[in-house]
């Protein structure tokens, strides 16, 4: 396991507006603590550098693991997963209509990321629905 300096972890968290850069879950509502993810995993040659780090909830971090690509469930083509430093979230994903509880893929990358990271896992959808009920928007967090 690669050790990431505390100061770098804090900067990555701040850059992500304290939300998972994949599913948009705010960290203040999660007991387990978020992770700093290597977008390109160390096992695939990724380095512990600012541009290769993303803030991820335990759910997304566990499912991303060492993946950098995955099949698009519509076409079957293997495509790159969402890259928080190179991609804009709203280019690849959108929230379902009222309430914004599910994430929909707008592109092959979005669809593959949703499938690989299980962004519409029933527990995540339930959490997002509760956030909507509380008036907490997850749609506005993270990079645009």
Residue 142, pLDDT above cutoff 60? no
Mean pLDDT of the region 12-36: 92
Please give the share of the chain, as a percent, with pLDDT higher than 70. 93
Compute the CA torsion angle 113, 117, 118, 121 (nearest 10 deg).
Answer: -130
The predicted-structure confidence for 121-141, as pLDDT tens digits, reads as follows 999 999 888 888 888 877 665
CB 15 within 8 Å of CB 36 = no
How many Å apart are CA 98 and CA 66, to the nearest integer? 34
63-69's contacts with Cβ under 8 Å and 24+ in sequence apart are 63/116, 63/117, 63/118, 64/22, 64/37, 64/116, 64/117, 65/41, 66/41, 67/41, 67/116, 68/39, 68/40, 68/41, 68/44, 69/112
Where residue 116 falls among pLDDT bands split at 50, 70, 90? very high
CB 22 within 8 Å of CB 39 = no
Domain residue limits, the chain: 6-133
- Higher pLDDT: 131 or 114? It is 114
The predicted-structure confidence for 45-100, as pLDDT tens digits, reads as follows 999 999 999 999 999 999 999 999 999 999 999 999 999 999 999 999 999 876 66
**What's the pTM?**
0.92
3-state per-residue secondary structure call for 48-103: CCHHHEEEECHHHHHHHCCCCEEECCCCCCEEECCCCCCCCHHHHEEECCCCCCCE
């Amino acid at each position: 396991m690669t050790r990431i300096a505390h100061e770098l972890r804090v900067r990555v968290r701040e850059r992500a507006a304290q939300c998972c850069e994949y599913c948009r879950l705010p960290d203040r509502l999660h007991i387990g603590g978020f992770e700093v993810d290597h977008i390109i995993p160390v096992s695939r040659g990724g380095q512990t550098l600012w541009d290769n780090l993303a803030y991820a909830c335990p759910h997304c971090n566990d499912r991303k693991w060492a993946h950098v690509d995955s099949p698009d469930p519509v076409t079957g083509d293997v495509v790159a997963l969402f890259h928080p430093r190179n991609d804009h979230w709203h280019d690849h994903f959108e929230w379902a209509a009222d309430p914004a509880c599910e994430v929909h893929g707008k592109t092959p990358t979005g669809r593959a990321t949703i499938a690989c990271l299980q962004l519409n896992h029933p527990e995540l959808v339930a959490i997002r629905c509760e956030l909507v009920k509380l008036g907490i928007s997850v749609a506005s967090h993270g990079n645009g």
